[in-house]
Amino acid sequence: MSRPLAQLLLLSLLPGTGCALIGVARDDSEFAGKPVSAEQVAEFENDAPVRTVLRLNTANVTTLATDQRIRSLIWEELDESGLMSPEDRRRLNQSGLRVGVAGSTLPWALTSLLSGERVQSTSLSNERAEDSRKADGSMVFGTRLVLPEGSSSLIEIPSPRNDLLIPVGHLAGLKDGAELRNARCMFHVSTAEIGDGWVVIKFLPQIHYGGMSVRYSIAESGEQLPVRQRIQPLYEQQFELKLHTGETAVIGYQKQNDWSVGQLMFQRESLSSLNEQVVTIELAAVEAVQGQKSVTVRYSKY
């Protein structure tokens, strides 16, 4: 067969077959607008993503530094030794940080602080102090955090001062010392490991300071440009805690003879008094949250 005759025969076949000779076959049922069966809907919904979420109740208590509840009594009934290695606990104590965990039943001294009560005389024994406490006095601030797995949040330590003075040679990132304007102390919290009813939480102390401006940060979705202050992370003071549901972590000040990070974060001095703070973080729940899917798409929204 000659070449022109073969070409003519090929062209004569195209009107009847369309592009079948050069195209790819497809399943017309995908484009026919047929209703989705109940089995397909059930399979679709059961395939929804599941994400673990932590529910945390946090509180910050401020009272006089001479109040023996915050200085010693609450720590007598908290677990400090079983939380981390002796080396890590010693490192934190030398930085002026003290960490303990309470079970589902909180010590009296901690309950008293969280309820905003003040003991009139700090030289009394526990029993007599129990009888002499009165309402009002301590200041308590709290919030609830929802922390999805893989995310992070901030817990702020309230301070009446806007400026923080860092002595020379005390912080690795500020060896020459500094006077930080508009400064706030924070705990950056994130999840390290999650199990059935328990979680390992990472605590990284930070100092946020300076004016608010647009700065780069790296997130799961890529680079972002949030409006935030400068951040000085205190990596030498970071630590991890394992909490079970219902347990409460307590972070406070470990008295030192020299200036320390704990003093910077938890002590506030005024003309008339010296106040001290503790932060509590309760693991209220570890929940599995299932996402929702929809088989209906409204293209008019896009």
Residue 142: per-residue pLDDT: 84
| Helix and strand counts by DSSP (H, E) for the chain | 8, 17
- Tell me how far apart the alpha carbons of residues 139 and 136 are, in angstroms, rounded to a whole number: 8
Residue 208: partners with Cβ closer than 8 Å, 6 or more residues away:
183, 184, 185, 186, 228, 229, 230, 231, 232
Measured between alpha carbons, how far is 9 from 63 in angstroms, rounded to an integer? 97
Question: Distance between CA atoms of 39 and 57, rounded to whole angstroms?
Answer: 41
Burial of 53 (0-12, 13-18, 19+ CB in 10 A): middle
- Residue 204: the pLDDT is 96
Rounded to an integer, what distance in angstroms lies between the CA atom of residue 132 and that of residue 291?
52
The answer to whether 148 touches 52, Cβ cutoff 8 Å, is yes
Write down the pLDDT at residue 48.
67
Which tokens in the block code for residue 131? 């009888």
Phi, psi dihedral angles at 214 (to 5 degrees): -80, 125
Question: Tell me, what's the pLDDT at 290?
Answer: 74
pLDDT averages per 10-residue partition of the chain, 302 residues: 58 52 46 65 68 93 91 91 90 95 92 77 40 51 88 86 82 82 92 93 93 63 65 93 96 92 89 89 90 60 49
β-sheet bridge partners, residue 277 = 62
Question: What ranges do the domains of the chain cover?
Answer: 51-289
